[in-house]
Amino acid sequence: MRAFQYLMPFALVGLMALPSHADTGDAELGEKVFQQCKGCHQVGASAKNRIGPHLNGLFGRKAAGLEGFKYSKSFQRAGAGGLEWHADTLDVFLENPRAMTSGTRMSYRGLKDAQDRAHLIVYLRQFSDNPANIPEADPTAQAVDHDLDPAILALVGDPEYGEYLSGECTTCHQAAGGDDGIPSITLWPEDQFVVAMHAYKNKQRNHPVMQMIAGRLGDEEIAALAAYFKDLEN
C-alpha cells in the first residue's frame, strides 16, 4: 500500500478541481477488479503478451507502443496521433473502450463504476515506475465520471439534416466505406458514432482535424450525422 500513500496529495488536488469524481482508489480492491482482465492481460514480474499486451510499465507508454504485440489499426493510429496511457486516458478508455478507439479488438464493454476504475488504475500504477521517483507522475487514484449524458445518447437524429451535414465528412471519409488512410464511418452503429464524436469534442480523442470538426457540432447535429451514416447504403 505504499504506492497508495504517495498518491494521496495528487488525488486531493484533483478532487478540488474536478466536478464529478470517485474516491481515491485502493490497490487491493483494484487487484480484485483486475480478475476480469486476467483472461487477456498479464501484469507483474513474469507478465507476457497474451491475447492482450502485458501491462507492466503502462503509465507513460504510447498507445500501441509495445514492440512485438500486434495492435489493431485503430490503436496504431491513436498511438501515432499521440495517445499515451496516463490515469486520465486510462479512465476514459476503461469506462468505454470504443469511445477512444472505435476499432479496438478489446472485447470488453467497459467498467462503468468510476470507483472500480479508480481501484484498478491504482493497482496497475504499481507496475509502472514508482511515482515517488517522478515528480510529475500521474495522479492515478482518482477517476472522473465521463459518461455521456444519457439524454445525449437518447437524442433521435434527423437523417435529412445528417445527409446535408455529412458533406463535411465525405470530403475525407468515403461514403462508399473505403478505408485508405482515413477510417470508414459508413454503417457505423449510431451509439458508437455519438460516443466517438463527443470524445473528439471533449478532446478525449486527440486528432486535431476531428477535434476541430466535432468541436462545433451541436448534440443534435451529432445525432443527425449518426442517424444518417448508420443506414447509408451505396
Partner 1 sequence: MTFNRRMFLGTSAVMAASLAAPMVRAQGKPRVIVIGGGAGGATAARYIAKDSKGEVDVTLIEPTRTYYTCFFSNLYLGDVKDIDDLGHSYGGLAAGGVNVVHDWAVGVDRDAKTVTLASGGSLAYDKLILSPGIDFVDGAVEGWDLTSQNAMPHAYKGGSQTELLKAQLKAMPEGGTFAMVAPPNPYRCPPGPYERVSMVAHYLKANNPTAKIIVADPKPKFSKMALFQEGWNNHYAGMIDWIGEDFGGGEVSVDPGAMTVTIDGEVTKVDVCNVIPAMKAGHIAEIAGVTDGNWAPVNAADMSSKADPDIHVLGDASQQGDMPKSGFSANSQAKVCANAVRGALTGSKVFPAKFSNTCWSLIDTNDGVKVGATYEATDEKIAKVDGFISQTGETADVRKATYEESEGWYAGITADMFGASV
Distance between CA 156 and CA 174 in Å, rounded? 24
104 CB neighbour count, 10 Å cutoff: 19
Distance between CA 210 and CA 229 in Å, rounded? 16
Question: Which listed residue (168, 192, 202, 220) binds partner 1 by CB under 8 A?
Answer: 168
Distance between CA 11 and CA 145 in Å, rounded? 15
Q: Quote the least distance from Cβ 178 to partner 1, whole Å.
A: 6
Q: Does 176 bind partner 1 (CB under 8 A)?
A: yes
Q: Quote the least distance from Cβ 106 to partner 1, whole Å.
A: 21
Question: Which listed residue (150, 216, 218, 233) binds partner 1 by CB under 8 A?
Answer: 216
Distance between CA 161 and CA 221 in Å, rounded? 8
For cell 480484485, the residue is 32
Segment contacting partner 1 by CB under 8 A, of 35-43, 108-116, 138-146, 177-185? 177-185
Distance between CA 23 and CA 216 in Å, rounded? 33
Segment contacting partner 1 by CB under 8 A, of 20-28, 39-47, 123-131, 155-163? 155-163
Question: Which listed residue (79, 97, 139, 157) binds partner 1 by CB under 8 A?
Answer: 79
Count CA atoms closer than 13 A to 225's CA, side-chain side: 25
Q: Quote the least distance from Cβ 209 to partner 1, whole Å.
A: 6
User: Quick one: which of 101, 103, 57 has its CA closest to 83?
Assistant: 101
Q: Does 173 bind partner 1 (CB under 8 A)?
A: yes
Footprint on this chain of partner 1 (rule: CB under 8 A): 77, 79-82, 160-161, 163-165, 167-168, 170-176, 178-182, 208-209, 211-213, 215-216, 234
